Amino acid sequence: MFQYFPAAVARTLTSLAVVSLAATGFTATAVAAPTHYPLTISNCGQSVTFTKPPEKAVSIGQGMTEILLSLGLADKMVGTAVWVGPVLPDYAEANKAIKRLADNDPSFESVVGQEPDLVAAEFEWHVGTQGSVGKREQFAGLGINTYVSPADCVAKLNADGGDGVRKELFTMDLIYQEIGELAQIFDIQDRGDALVAKLKTREAEAVASLRGSAQNMPIAFWFSSKEVQGDAFIAGKNSAPAYILKMLGAKNVVTTEEEWPLVGWETIAQANPAVIVIATMDRRRYAADDPQVKIGFLEKDAVTSQLDAVKNRHFVLMDAQSMNPTIRTIEGIEILAAGIKSFGSAK
């Protein structure tokens, strides 16, 4: 009986460095066609036209920031905001040189104060119809283009201001679309193609490593809870964690379309998960943001202590960013696959 703690989750990500094709060892079999401007892209219900590659970008959302860094665009970034944890290790130095506007939501004024020609957001709740940072029309009125991750708007409803409702299963194709569109916007298609190819290879290798041994295994992804002993934010049936489970052949214990529904532990107990994936993060908005607090609750509570995952200590610690629709979703597949393998080898 043991739990799987990745010795250094961040170190599994070093292969994502795509500062340049040469630095990563990627070789392009063909040179991608250059972008012809003006370029018009349909993005989350809006048409956005670029007359040239952006020179000054602000990214809102760690997932968006890490995609831009992975595309080698640090020199085009003038501000970042909304951080859950440390940046990918390969970009720590580059990220230090970019102004951090806020750890959480930046003000509209702080964003436009950087005089960007592009504001790229991970979530519509930051830049969208009810944007907490600003509406797309507000930025457009100042001549600033906006781009929102397709993963947060395709087949997803965000009108309630929460984490939203996803009507179709998330897939990495949405992240690959995002990478491709950003690469086209900045006229760096070769870098985008190389990054997508690398991620696809890693995904295939992680899936193959389990050889189907996780088939129909019930698994719960626990992000956090407002109150430690209260209902838990558990990944919904169409979320990024649900995609991770599908790729590994495992089964989600939640059937709702909400992205991160609050679920009672009595309900979770009925599904009796064999593994519980626990989010790790630097954020401490809620007491249950701390993974050790989560584990302590699971082991002491009268209901949760009887779950198979808890009795066998089948816990997998995973960076919260890997539970969001980002390039780190691939890392999520790798970590869960490794955790399941480690549990199997202990039997």
Is 18 within a domain? no
The parent domain of residue 264 ranges over 211-345
Q: Model confidence at 32, in pLDDT bands (50, 70, 90)?
A: confident
Residue 10 binned pLDDT confidence (cut-offs 50, 70, 90): very low
Domain final position from 175, 200, 225: 200
Tell me which residue of 52, 53, 54, 111 sits closest to 82, measured CA to CA. Answer: 111
In this structure, what token pair is assigned to residue 288?
A: 């249950």
Indicate whether 144 and 279 sit together in one domain: no
| 3-state SS assignment for residue 331 | helix
**E strands, the chain, where?**
39-43, 46-50, 57-60, 77-81, 100-102, 118-121, 145-148, 156-157, 165-166, 218-224, 232-234, 251-252, 262-263, 275-280, 315-319
Q: Do 139 and 184 belong together in one domain?
A: yes
Read out DSSP for 122-137? S-TTTBSTT-SSB-HH
Question: In the prediction, which pLDDT does 51 show?
Answer: 98
My answer on whether 112 and 42 are in the same domain is: yes
Q: State how many domains the chain has.
A: 2
pLDDT tens for 154-191 read: 989 887 656 889 999 999 999 999 999 999 999 999 99
Q: Same domain for 223 and 186?
A: no
The predicted-structure confidence for 219-260, as pLDDT tens digits, reads as follows 999 999 999 999 999 999 999 999 999 999 999 999 999 999
Both 220 and 264 in one domain: the answer is: yes
The closest alpha carbon to 68, from 167, 164, 195, 232, belongs to: 195
| 88 and 53 housed in the same domain | yes
**Pair (38, 114) in one structural domain:** yes
Note whether 121 and 218 are same-domain residues.
no
Q: Mean pLDDT for the chain?
A: 91
Do 141 and 281 belong to one domain? no
Buried b / exposed e over 38-70, threshold 16 CB at 10 Å, is ebeeebbebebebeebbeebbbbbbbbbbbbbb
Mean pLDDT in residue range 290-311: 97
CATH at residue 334: 3.40.50.1980
- The alpha carbon of 136 is separated from its chain's Cα centroid by a whole number of angstroms, namely 22
Within this chain, do residues 171 and 252 fall inside the same structural domain, yes or no? no
Q: What is the mean pLDDT of residues 45-55?
A: 97
Same domain for 126 and 190, yes or no, is: yes
User: CA-CA distance, 61 to 67, in Å (whole number)?
Assistant: 10
Coil, helix or strand for 213?
Answer: coil
pLDDT value for 54? 98
Total-model pTM: 0.89
- Separation between Cα atoms, residue 157 and residue 170, nearest integer Å: 13
pLDDT tens digit string along 108-123? 999 999 999 999 999 9
Whole-angstrom distance, CA of residue 9 vs CA of residue 238: 24
Kindly state whether residues 310 and 258 are assigned to the same domain. yes
Domain closes at, from 177, 200, 223: 200
